Amino acid sequence: MEFDVHGNPMEVDLKAPVFHGLIRGTLPWMLLDILQKEGPLHALGLVKAIQVRAHGLWKPSTGSVYPILHRFEKQGLALSEWQGTKAAPRRVYRLTEKGIDEVPKARHQLINEFRNAKLIIEMHIHALEAEAMDEGNSNDE
């Protein structure tokens, strides 16, 4: 639950463009981290793990997960293999040594990106609040 500056509960619309872009941008790093911590998983298992981490607020589609997993394979960060039965085969992904080595770097990069995003958002908030105060003062005259 998010709260405003006065301590009142706020509704958070994660589909709003500003949140949607920020959250989707974290998807590759989340996938790396989950694969490292939880071991080999198929795409739907990764989606469910992200949904759990996001406390049910976000569930990426497998259509956004698969291209990232394929990119990981091309970069040598992950390998996949088919598992399951002929009737229900699943492609399971696991990190390579290179992928495991990449997780701390990716985590550090994500932290820096969030810090930078926070600074930019705070600058915008201050500018908007100043404009609102100026508008309020000019309406009082």
pLDDT-derived band of residue 16, with 50, 70 and 90 as boundaries?
low
More confident site: 3 or 22: 22
Q: Where do runs of H (alpha helix) occur along 58-96?
A: 62-74
More confident site: 11 or 60: 60
Instruction: Tell me which residue has tokens 């309020």.
Output: 136
Q: For 94-141, write each residue's pLDDT tens digit.
A: 999 999 999 999 889 888 888 888 898 899 889 988 888 887 776 665
Closest CA to 31 of 74, 82, 95: 95
Closest CA to 47 of 99, 34, 118: 34
Q: What residues contact residue 67 under an 8 Å CB cut-off, 6+ apart?
A: none
* Six token digits for residue 48: 């469910």
CATH class belonging to 2-140: mainly alpha
Per the CB < 8 A criterion, the answer to whether 50 and 59 are in contact is yes
**What amino acid occupies position 128?**
L
Model pTM score: 0.72
66, pLDDT greater than 60: yes
